Structures are given as C-alpha cells and as structure tokens.
Amino acid sequence: MNQLPNLLDFTQEEIEELIFSLGKEKYRARQIMKCLYQSGHHSFAQMTTLSREFRGRLAEISRIARPEVVQIQESKDGTKKALLRLEDGLYIESVLIPGKNNWTICISTQAGCAMNCSFCLTARQGFKRNLRPAEITGQILALREKTSQELEIKNIVMMGMGEPLANYENTLKAIKNLTCDFGLGFSNRKVTVSTCGLAPQIVRLGSDICINLAVSLNAPDNEVRSALMPVNKKYPLEELLAACKKYPMPGRRLLTFEYILIAGVNSSVRDAEKLAVLLKDQRCKLNLIVFNEFPGSPFKSPSPEDVEAFQQVLIKKHYTTVIRASKGGDILAACGQLSGTMKS
C-alpha cells in the first residue's frame, strides 16, 4: 500500500501548510481543494489549473486515493446500497436514500463497530478500524461519480457503520472538508452526526463545530438501555442527557433523539409515558424507527397499532414525533442492517 500521505486526509489549512513548505502561495490550496472535491479529480494529471511542475512536485510527496465502489444493490423502493473496498482490503457500506428530488447519503465512519448494540447487525462484525478522513468523504465522492446522471446528493447523515464520535478527530476533519466552501460545500444544516451516546464527545463536538446531532436513545430508563446498548453502563442517561442539553442548536433547530421500537422490549404505552417524562427538559424532536429485522436477530418489530399508540402518547405531550419510514430493508440497507459484506 502506498505510504505517501493522502491529500483527501488533509483539511484546507493543512494543504496550505504543505504547499507553503514547497514555496508555493497558500491560495493554491483553494485550487487543490476545488480539484479534489468539486471537480472530483482523482489524479494530479487532471489538475490542469496547476502548473505541470507543481503537479509533479505534489505527486512526489502525496497521493489521491478514495474507496472503490465494488457493488451497488438497488431496493424496490429506490434505495441503493454500495459496498466499497478500502486500500487494505476491508469493506464498508454506504446507502443512498431517495427523496423527492435528491439523495440523502448515509455514510460510515468505521469498519465494523465496537459499541456492540444488541439490535444492530454491524455490531456482529466486530470492530476492525477507524476510517481516515479520505475514506469518510471518499464515499460521497465515489458515489457522486457513480450517480452523476441521477439525483444530486443534498443531505449527509453519518449513520452508517461505526460510531462517529469514537473516531472523533477523523470524523471532525471529514466534516470540515464536507462543509468547507472549497470542499464539498455542504451547509452545516445538511450534515447530521448520529451517536450512541458518548457524552464527553457530544460536548466537545458542540464546541468544535455546529452541525445537526442525532442521539440513539432507544429506552426510557437505564435498565433497558444498558441491556440494549452497553455504552449506557459508561455514560448512563443522566450523564448523556446533561451533555445533550449543552449541545448548541441555534435558532429553531432541535436535537434529534432516535428511538428504535422493539416488540416486548421498549415499545409499550408505559414506555412512551416514561420517555415523555425523561425528555421534558430537552429541546428535541423524536424519530421513531420500527426495528428492522435481520437474519439471526432475537428481536421482532412491534405491530403498527403499537407503534401508533406509542407515537400518540408523545404527540399528546407536545413532542414533535415522526415515524421514520424504513427504506432498503429488502437489501439489508435499513437502519442497523449494514454489515460490509459482498452479496454473492
């Protein structure tokens, strides 16, 4: 594997430092960023806005590499799941979710996951390693190229494989390149990080950058949450919710709590009532997600009637509560179903 540094791992400021060391003007970093992210160049030869001599020097000290799309599956509802190969041979998955006129892309931040949530298929793969910034943003670059004749990618959710805040530095770098004017240029409002609840990192993220935050809650009390999500033993609900209250949500923006409804575990009317009390001091909205079954899972989805009853309790308590439509279940592309394995 090529050991030269990957330019897609660099922020604009880091590229400025690199080229300044070569005796070049710092504004050239903006040109390089535009080539990498806006034009989608994946070789120095394509960067014709730079002199041949400068391109040659860059090629001597750096490289451009991103994940390779090796398989795309399409669901009957239009969702697309992509399997991507990393340079060391590991595989990750990304999902393109169709909207009315655009895609939402769900990207991964780790190969595998160490959080071991009992309802998640990714957890069964174990943790392999953190993704580099290039491997995070590279999912978007690679899939944008593959779908350039279709819808435009308008929203980014870091809800794929892995826990983004357990890969904090690389996730933050990737977000900076996603939202940089000379990078992919996404508005902060169009980028969402989803976390299982790493309380200290939530506070840190709020001080480092302002983007949307979604917290995977999934239980109205510590006993049930600890059984579903081992992270709760380290950061119980009291600590998690205190961190959430510190997270800055400017204007009318609300923090999102995601709640996976599992039959006989956390989906009763009583659970909804306890949840309403638990969140009474939070500026939030709730996304209810019906559990997506997968082969070998010990859990089942609740009935539509139970889901409706759960939602109505929260609505009557004046919570903005949405039942999130599950997409891509037939190709194991829905929430909690990603595994990074090739379909034979």
* Catalytic (active-site) positions: 93, 335
Distances from the Cα of 342 to the Cα of 15, 28, 75, angstroms? 35, 40, 16
Report the distance separating Cα 84 and Cα 103, nearest Å: 18
Helix/strand/coil percentages in the chain, nearest 5:
40, 20, 40
112 DSSP β-pair partners: 127
User: Which sign does the torsion angle of CA 91, 89, 173, 208 carry?
Assistant: positive
* Among 235, 220, 209, 212, residue whose Cα is nearest residue 155: 212
* Among 161, 71, 120, residue whose Cα is nearest residue 294: 120
Query: Are 161 and 337 in contact, with CB atoms under 8 Å apart?
Result: no
Query: Residue 97 belongs to what H/E stretch?
Result: strand 91-98
